[in-house]
Structure 1
Amino acid sequence: MSTKTSDLAGRRILVTGAEGRIGSATCARLTELGARVTAFSLPQDDAPAVAAERVLHGDTRDDAAVQDALDGVELVVHLAAIPSPDLADWTTVFSTNVVSTFTVLAHAGERGVRRAVIASSINAYGGPYNSHDVRPAYYPLDEQLPADLDDPYSLSKFTDERTAEMAARHWGTDVIALRFPLTAPQEVLLEHAARATGDLAHGATEGWSYLDVRDAARAVELSLLSSARGAHAVFVAAGETDVPFPTDELLDRYAPGVPRLRSFAGREVPIDLTRARTLLGFRAEHLLPVEPAPLPGA
C-alpha cells in the first residue's frame, strides 16, 4: 500500500518496455503513488517481476496487442525500444523503434488519451553514436541543437520526436519526449564513471552526462502531471558530470573551437536543463559521489 498521495493515484497508466531499466523503475514509482499500471513488454526468459496491476507480453508494433494493452488506459508511458544501433541489424533497429512509437501513440490518440510520455534520447541530435569525429554545434546542449545523424538508433529517436509532434497535432495528445542520457542504477553508473574518467574524449559528445534510473522514473511522473500542451522534447540529466574535472577545462581540451554559450561552474553538466525545470519542475536528486579534482596537465 502506498504511503504517498499523488494526482496519479487511481489513474490507469500503460507502461511499455516495462521490464527494462527505466520501465521497471517507472512501474515501481507509479504503483507506489497509487496508479493502476498496465505493464507491457516483449516476452523474455527470466524477466524481472514488475510492480503493476496488469502484466501483458507482446510486441508494440502489433496493432491488436497494443489495443488490448490500452484497454481502459488514461495515460501512456512508451519506453519500449531497441536501445542501441549495435543490438540488431540497422533496418530492424530503425523500423522497430519508429513503428512501435507510431503504433502506440496512434492507437492512444484514437482512444482519446490526452497525455503521453515517450523515451527519446540524447542521441536524437546524433552525436554520441556518430561514426564521424563530430562535436555538438555548441554547448550547452539543448533541445534546439542541430542534428548530425549517422546511425539508425539516433535517427529513430529523432523520428520519434516528429511522431510525437504529429500525434499532438492530429489527435490532441500532449506528449513529453524525454531525452535521456546514459540512465542506469547507481552501481552501473559508478562503473561507467570510472571508465569515462579514463577516456575523457569519448564523453564530450554527451557532455559526460548521466541520470540515475530513480530520477528517470520521477521525470516520467512529472511529465505525466505536466500541464504543457503540444509536444515537447526535454533533456533530463543529473546537474553534474560523472567525471571529477571542471567542465570548462574539459571542453577547452576535448571540444576546442566549439562555441560555448556560457561558462560552467565546477562540474556542471554542459546541458541546458532549463526546460526540464520550467516545464516539468524536475531536478535530479540522485547524484554520483564524485570528488572534484583538477584536470591532469591543465
Structure 2
Amino acid sequence: MSSSLSGRRVLVTGAAGRIGSVATSHLTELGALVTALTIVEAPELKADRVVIGDTRSEDDVAEALAEVEFVVHLAALPHRDSGTPYDVYTGNVISTFNVLAQAGAVGIKRAVIASSINAFGVPMNPHDVLPAYYPLDEKIPTDVGDWYSLSKQNDENTARMAWRHWGIDVVAFRFPHVNSPDVLRQQADWHTENPAFGVREGWSYLDTRDSAYAIELGLTADLTGAHTFFVAANNTNASYETEALLDKFAPNVPRLRRIPGREVAIDLTAVRTVLGFQAQHELDLPTLPLES
C-alpha cells in the first residue's frame, strides 16, 4: 500500500485507545514510521517506536516528538463520566494545548486531532434540547452544558490558535460514536428498539477503520489553516427512514434540506469536498416502517 506517508515519522498520542490502536496499525501499513505515545503498556501496538508517557507532561511529549513530521492527537478522557469534571476538562484541554504547542514550536507542519460530535454541546446537554436544525453542519449553533463538550470545543479553539501562532495546519474531526463493527451492530439493534436515543446525534456512527482512513486523509490533504469537520458513515444506525425519525422525534426542528432514505442527519459536504472522505464500512441494515 503506497502512500505519501511512507517513511515519514508520525506521532500518534492515545495510541492504545479505541481509535488510536486502529490508526496506528493503518498508518504502519501505509509505510509510516509511527511513534506511539501511550499512558499504558500496550505490547500489541504495531508501532516503530513506543513511548510510555502522559500527554499532559511537557517532558513526555517532547520525547515523543523527536524526529516527528506529523502528529495525530487522540489522547483524551473520552466521555463526560470518564472522571471528575475537573479531571475530564483539564486533562483534555491541557493535553491538546501541550501537544499542539510543542509540535508547532518545533516546526511540525500538520496535525490531526480528535474533536467530537459533542463539541456543539447538544448530545450531552443535561437539558431537554435538540439541535438548532438538521442536517447538522460545522456552523451549527452551540449549546454547551457539560465539561466534556466544553473541552472538545476548546480543543478546536486551541487548533485555531496553534495555526495562527505557529503556522501548523490542523484538522479536527468531530467524531460521532466510533467503534468496531460488532459493537456498532449492537448499538444499531438498540436504536431499532429505542430510536429516540439517536436524535441529538442524527443517528450517526463511524467504523474505527473509517476513522483511521479519515486520519490518513487529514494528514495528507492539500490544505492550510485550521479546519473542523463532521465525519460519519453515510447512513444512520437506525433501521428507519431519516425523515420519519425526524418527523417523530424532532418535528419542530427546522430542516435545511430533505434527507432521503436512511441518510445520516449530518451534512458531510465539507469532509467529502475538502478531504475526499467517504466511509467505506457501513452497517447493512434493513429499512423498516416506523410506528407512529
TM-score range, shorter chain: over 0.9
Q: Is residue 107 from structure 1 mapped to residue 97 from structure 2 by the alignment?
A: no
What's the counterpart of residue 25 of structure 1? Answer: 22
Residue type of the partner of 1:273?
Answer: L
How far the C-alpha of 1:228 sits from its partner, in A, is 1.4
Aligned residue among 207, 213, 218 for 2:208: 213
Deviations 1:78-108 (A, max 9, x none): 0000000111000100000000000000000
Structure 2 counterpart of 1:180: 175
State the one-letter code of the partner of 1:165. Answer: R
Maintained 8 Å contact 1:19/1:48 = no
Where does the alignment leave 5 or more consecutive residues of structure 1 unmatched? none
Give the aligned partner of residue 194 of structure 1.
189
What is the deviation of 1:162?
0.3
Shift of 1:194: 1.1
Aligned to 1:43: 40
- 2:11 aligned to which of 10, 14, 25: 14
TM superposition outliers: structure 1 runs of 4+ over 4 Å: none
Correspondence for 1:204: 199
Asked if the contact 1:76–1:117 (Cα under 8 Å) also holds between the matched residues in 2, the reply is yes
Q: Normalising to structure 1: TM-score of the pair? A: 0.97
Aligned equivalents of 2:219, 2:32: Cα separation in 1: 11
Is residue 84 of structure 1 aligned with residue 88 of structure 2?
no
**Which SS does the other structure have where 2:186 is aligned?**
helix
Contact 2:175 2:231 in 1 (8 A): yes
**Whole-angstrom CA distance in 2 between matches of 1:150 and 1:180:** 19
Please state how far the C-alpha of 1:120 moved relative to its aligned partner: 0.4
Equivalent residue, structure 1, for 2:114: 119
C-alpha distance in structure 2 between counterparts of 1:129 and 1:138, whole Å: 17
Q: Please give the TM-score of this superposition, normalised by the length of structure 2.
A: 0.99
Q: 2:246 aligns with which of 248, 251, 255?
A: 251
- Superposition pairs of residues 105-184 of structure 1, within 5 angstroms: 105-184=100-179
C-alpha deviation, 1:199, in angstroms: 1.8
Q: How many residues end up aligned between the 2 structures?
A: 292
Matched, 1:223 2:207: no
Deviation at 1:296, TM superposition (A): 1.7
1:13 match: secondary structure: strand
Cα distance change, pair 198–22 in 1 and its aligned pair in 2 (3 A): same
Three-state SS of the structure 1 residue aligned to 2:19 is helix
Q: Helix, strand or coil: the match of 2:217?
A: helix
Alpha carbons 1:16, 1:39 under 8 Å: kept: yes
Gap regions ≥5 residues in structure 2? none
Q: Establish whether residue 285 from structure 1 lines up as the match of residue 260 from structure 2.
A: no
Distance in 2 between the 1:130 and 1:30 partners?
35
1:188-247 deviation per Cα after TM superposition (whole angstroms, max 9, x unaligned): 101111112222112100000000000000000000001111101101100100011000
Partner letter of residue 128 of structure 1? P
Distance of 1:17 and 1:170 partners within structure 2: 25
Give 1:48 shift: 6.0
Contact 1:179–1:234 (8 Å) recurs in 2: yes
Aligned residue number for residue 68 of structure 2: 73
Instruction: Give the whole-Å Cα distance in 1 for the aligned partners of 2:156 and 2:223.
Output: 16
Q: How far, CA to CA, are the matches of 2:267 and 2:39 in structure 1?
A: 34
Determine the structure 1 residue equivalent to 2:291: 296
Contact 1:122/1:179 (CA < 8 Å) preserved in 2?
yes
Tell whether the 8 Å contact from 2:16 to 2:40 is kept in structure 1 after alignment. Answer: no
- Give the SS at the match of 1:7: coil
Q: What is the rounded CA distance, in whole Å, between the counterparts of 1:133 and 1:208 in structure 2? A: 17
Give the secondary structure class of the aligned counterpart of 2:173.
strand
| CA-atom RMSD in angstroms | 0.8
Q: In structure 2, how many angstroms separate the alpha carbons of the residues matched to 1:82 and 1:48?
A: 21
